[in-house]
Amino acid sequence: MPTLLHLDSSPLGEASVSRHLTSEFVKNWKKTNPNGKVITRDLTTSGLISINAAWIGAAFTPKESRTPEQNEVLALSSTLLAELKEADEYVFGVPMHNFGIPSVLKLWIDQIARAGETFAYVDGAPKGQLTGKKAHFLLATGGVYGAGTAMASYNFVEPYLRTVFGFLGVVDTSFQTAGGAAALRQGADREAFLLPHLEEIRAKFAVN
């Protein structure tokens, strides 16, 4: 059964541009995969916290040697890992916050980037363990940061996500950005702004 992991990281709820994009993606994915399964994870309500010394100690303790307390420390991380491994495909809604990814998405990455789980060292070199997966990143940015623009060098979202997921073995990635979303706060028509981005998502599924 094809499985899609759908993750959102915007705190804006219905006002979020990236959530509208992922919703459209999921709707079209379901049409293409009528027998598929969708796992939905809202990172803003998942109780994510920063990793600490206890977490690090538990993560680097062999499974068979962990105490019940250490297993409890890793419980959320293990749940997130199970979702990640079960899915064949991922779609992320990612707004740009201060030129980077939202803090909740970084917290999630810290929970799933675990040695022996999503990456390992083979002959001294890192090797990603999430092979054969596909990731789609649907971004929303207040300004315009596309290649060739004056602000392109300020965009740390796509380079970071491409790097960290590549490290974990996910090299089949796509990025779509709804740039200039700040115009919505200045009275721009929301439907008109979203339409070309929604049509771009629909077109991808029409081709496939």
Global pTM reads 0.96
Return the structure tokens found at 3: 């499985």
Collect the ranges in the chain with pLDDT lower than 50.
Answer: none
Place of tokens 């721009």: 188
**Tell me, what's the pLDDT at 85?**
98
In DSSP terms, which residues pair with 138 in a beta bridge? 93, 176
What DSSP line would sit under 159-194, residue for residue? HHHHHHHHHTT--EEEEEEEE-GGGGGGT--HHHHH
Segment 175-190, tens digit of pLDDT: 999 999 999 999 999 9
**Tell me, what's the pLDDT at 124?**
87
Domain boundaries, the chain: 3-207
**Tell me, what's the pLDDT at 208?**
57
CATH placement of domain 3-207: 3.40.50.360
Exposure class string for 53-78: b at 16+ Cβ within 10 A, else e: eebeebbeeeeeebeeebeebbebbe
Surface-to-core class of residue 122, CB atoms within 10 Å of its CB (0-12 exposed, 13-18 middle, 19+ buried): exposed
Best CA proximity match to 156, nearest among 71, 94, 93, 78? 94
d(CA 72, CA 57): 12
Give CA separation, 110 vs 47, 113, 135, 139, 149, in Å: 13, 5, 18, 20, 31
d(CA 108, CA 92): 12
* Cα torsion through 9, 18, 1, 78, rounded to 10: -10
